[in-house]
Amino acid sequence: MKNTVCTALMLLMSVCMYAQELYGEYEKKVYVSSQGDSLKYRLLRPEAEKAGKKYPLVLFLHGAGERGDDNQKQLVHGGQMWLNPVNREEYPAFVLAPQCPKEDYWAYVGRPKSFVPGEMPEVQELTRIFRTLKELLDTYLAMPQVDKDRIYVMGLSMGGMGTFDLAIRYPEVFAAAVPICGIVNPARLSAAKDVKFRIYHGDADNIVPVEGSRQAYKALKAAGADVEYIEFPGVNHGSWTPAFNDSEFMGWLFNQKKK
């Protein structure tokens, strides 16, 4: 029994050390809001910051499965993409990766009861977690080395829903938004018509129906937005994998700039 416990502890330590090494370049941080609410997040800075130079900022919102308080799981999907040495060299940026607490749900007070687009919430108050997140974002927007014309928000699943929500609430902040397998009430999207969108979804998604992204695309087009939609045939909910492997993903994102 003792040997079994020791083996389990050694395995756990090895996993923790591996994860620390894997994401070690991301700084571990905690932000405390003006209301006293805490938000754990990771920060990746440009690899070779130069004095007087401005850099884009990417806000990355994870999915429901990565909620918690370890300040690590939010990097499981997509975290390595920003550590790719080629990407770091060609697309230097600040990357903010907050972690949603287990009991919260980014844009909503809880998991929406229906994922039918027209039945998604249309009018709602800003959630406590997003209020704290916006305060955190504002602290970085105030930094002279952050390019205010190149602020991007992206997310997957629950984070895709949050991406839509933030672009709708703060269209003056974001130059571009990339919701992946997300959903939103399309009636809200006219407020985000000045944000450039690239939407991804798998047509076989059995968790967040593809109709959410299809209707979002049509609503944004009708509002006059600059929007692209990429649908993956036969792909289920994990559409972030082919999205992150899109050869144009990084180039498109970092080419966007506020008018």
| pLDDT band at 204; cut points 50, 70, 90 | very high
The answer to the question of residue 2 being in a domain is no
**Distance between first and last Cα of the chain:** 65
| pLDDT band at 9; cut points 50, 70, 90 | very low
How far apart CA 257 and CA 259 sit, in angstroms, is 6
Residue-wise pLDDT tens digits, 213-249 = 999 999 999 999 999 999 999 999 999 999 999 999 9
The whole-number pLDDT of residue 15 equals 42
Q: Which domain holds residue 207?
A: 12-255
The whole-number pLDDT of residue 259 equals 79
Answer with the residue of higher pLDDT: 83 or 125.
Answer: 83
The answer to the question of residue 32 being in a domain is yes
β 176-180/55-61 pair status: unpaired
The answer to the question of residue 141 being in a domain is yes
| pLDDT band at 147; cut points 50, 70, 90 | very high
The whole-number pLDDT of residue 11 equals 45
The answer to the question of residue 165 being in a domain is yes
The answer to the question of residue 122 being in a domain is yes
Q: How many domains does the chain have?
A: 1
Above 80 in pLDDT, residue 96?
yes
Q: Which residues pair with 97 in a beta bridge?
A: 42
Tell me the mean pLDDT in the region 51-74: 97
Mean of pLDDT over the chain: 93
Following DSSP, what letter does each residue of 8-61 receive, concatenated?
HHHHHHHHHHHHHHHTTTSEEEEEE-TTS-EEEEEEE--TT--TT--EEEEEEE
User: For residue 123, what is the domain's CATH number?
Assistant: 3.40.50.1820
98, with CB counted inside 10 A (0-12, 13-18, 19+), is: buried
| pLDDT band at 12; cut points 50, 70, 90 | very low
The answer to the question of residue 154 being in a domain is yes
Above 80 in pLDDT, residue 250?
yes
Above 80 in pLDDT, residue 136?
yes
The answer to the question of residue 85 being in a domain is yes
Measure Cα distances from 170 to 19, 138, 189 in Å. 34, 12, 12
Own/partner pairs for 63-68, CB < 8 Å, 24+ apart?
A: 63/155, 63/156, 63/157, 63/158, 63/159, 63/160, 64/105, 64/111, 64/157, 64/158, 65/157, 66/99, 66/100, 67/99, 67/100, 67/101, 67/102, 67/104, 68/99, 68/101, 68/102
Tell me the mean pLDDT in the region 187-205: 98
Tell me the mean pLDDT in the region 196-202: 98
The whole-number pLDDT of residue 169 equals 97
The answer to the question of residue 120 being in a domain is yes
Residue-wise pLDDT tens digits, 45-61 = 999 899 999 999 999 99
